[in-house]
Amino acid sequence: MTAAALHEYSVTRNPDAEAICDLAIYNYEEMRSSVASPIFRLRHQIEYFLGKLLPTQFKPLYTMVAFTEIPYSEVKRRWKSQARTINIASALIIGSSLLTAGVLGFMKAKTLDMKIPTFWGAK
């Protein structure tokens, strides 16, 4: 192997080597502390739903790593982009759920003739 070939191999493969290290650390941290979180489970449900809905544009991280030949550096780039979409979808779902719960609670309080706090605009 010549020095030029070794240099070319290093330049070509190093981004993928760094990416797989980053993905491994992320996976460790996720398994260590996140899997019990309801928000984590919601994010994964959104990720897999989008993967089924838009299979050519959106692939779950696990699927890209385990079942494709996508280079790890590309997996990391795509995953970062997809994570933004998942964050937005999660925030919208959680926000709309809280809003719905608030409206339903307000309506229930009105039907029970409960005193509604004035900061809600009700008297």
d(Cα 80, Cα 71) in Å, to the nearest integer? Answer: 14
The answer to whether the predicted template modeling score (pTM) of the entire model surpasses 0.85 is: no
Residue 1: what pLDDT? 61
Average pLDDT, 10 consecutive residues per value, the chain (123 residues): 84 92 93 86 89 92 94 95 90 90 83 68 54
C-alpha dihedral sign at 63, 65, 71, 75: positive
For the chain, the structural domain boundaries read: 8-120
The confidence score (pLDDT) of residue 118 equals 65
At residue 34, the pLDDT reads 84
